Amino acid sequence: MSSRAGLAVQTIGVTKVYRVGHIDYPALRGVSLKIGKGELVSIVGPSGSGKSTLLNLIGALDAPTSGRVIVDGIDLRKLNQDKLALLRNLRIGFVYQTFNLIQRLTAIENVEMPLIARGIPEKIRKSRSLKMLSAVGLRREANKRPTELSGGEQQRVAIARALVTQPTIVLGDEPTGNVDSKTTREVLNYIIQVNKAFGTTFVLVTHNPEVSNMTHRMITLKDGLIEKEQYLQRMDSYTGL
């Protein structure tokens, strides 16, 4: 137990096999890794190497075929659907390449969504959400709908939504995949700031070397296995851009 206390994520011999018809497609073939609290980790690798699958397993959105996933000291095997949902709500934030905002809701309403699931009163969640939007520089866009925002702005709304719950770990699936290089730099800067200020763990799946180069550690997947792990900089010496 105590050895896991400092870990945000641990996977032990995790495999994931997708079955289409009668044919099995192994996406992960035994991945064991440890990610410490406050770490900024990137997962890279070619398409089909199992990056997103691994992220979904860590995010408790999917269950492994075998092996164990431990998030924040909690073994996901032991949780039912409700407890998994609770874990996602309380400890995990997601940021996606396609932003995944709810189109009919305004920016602030989107940010409020995870707080609504917790039954937090409207006044409190509005002020928290507005604070979060201010932090990503979108205070004035709070009442705009996603369609009225640029890609970069939408991604910042998504980041605000991921962080408003003060999660221990934020999972990003190509978070800069759909934004220009200027926005990429802004988003990365913000991630680094949050990581430093709050010790939030980030696990980012990316193709973009600009992203992976500024993380503490880069994990390369290939054919469902960890091919290599590179420590790029020590957490305490990391200064960002």
Q: To which residue do tokens 């006044």 refer?
A: 123
Q: Is 205 a binder of other proteins (CB under 8 A)?
A: no
Rounded CA-CA distance 56/46 in Å is 17
Minimum separation from the CB atom of position 186 to other proteins (A): 23
CA gap 219, 227 in Å, rounded: 8
**Residue 82 binds to other proteins (criterion: CB under 8 A):** yes
Q: Which of residues 111-140 bind other proteins (CB under 8 A)?
A: 113-114, 116-119, 121-122
**Token digits of residue 62:** 């999917």
- Binder to other proteins among 24, 32, 46, 61 (CB under 8 A)? 61
In this chain, which of 45, 54, 88, 202 binds other proteins, going by CB under 8 A?
Answer: 88
Tell me how far, at minimum, the Cβ of 203 lies from other proteins, in Å.
Answer: 14
Paired residues of 11 in beta bridges: 33, 69
Of 42-50, 81-89, 190-198, 215-223, the segment contacting other proteins by CB under 8 A is 81-89
Contact 13, 66 (CB under 8 A): yes
Length of the chain in residues, anyone?
A: 241
Cα→Cα distances 204→20, 40, 90, 108, Å? 28, 8, 19, 24
Q: Find the helix packing angle between 122-135 and 107-117, rounded to 10°.
A: 130
| Least Å from the CB of residue 133 to other proteins | 16
Does the protein bind other proteins through residue 65 (CB under 8 A)? no
Counting contacts by CB under 8 A, is residue 141 touching other proteins? Answer: no
Give min distance, CB of 176 to other proteins, in A. 18
The verdict on 56 binding other proteins (CB under 8 A) reads yes
Distance CA 186, CA 89 (A): 26
Using CB under 8 A as the binding rule, whether residue 74 contacts other proteins is answered as: no
- 211, exposed or middle or buried, with CB in 10 Å at 0-12, 13-18, 19+? buried
Which of 100, 178, 208, 233 forms a contact with other proteins (CB under 8 A)? 100
- H-helix segments, 72-142: 81-91, 107-117, 122-135
Quick one: 8 or 95, whose CB is closer to other proteins? 95
Q: Does 102 bind other proteins (CB under 8 A)?
A: yes
Residue 91 or 216: which CB sits closer to other proteins?
91
- Other C-beta atoms lying within 10 Å of the C-beta of residue 224: 22
Nearer to other proteins (CB atom), residue 63 or residue 77: 63
Q: How far is the CB of 182 from other proteins (least distance, A)?
A: 27
Given the structure tokens 């305490």, which residue do they identify? 236
What is the C-alpha to C-alpha distance for residues 218 and 40, in angstroms, rounded to an integer?
9
Contact residues toward other proteins (CB under 8 A) are: 56, 59, 61-62, 81-82, 85-90, 92, 94, 96, 100-102, 104-105, 113-114, 116-119, 121-122, 161, 165
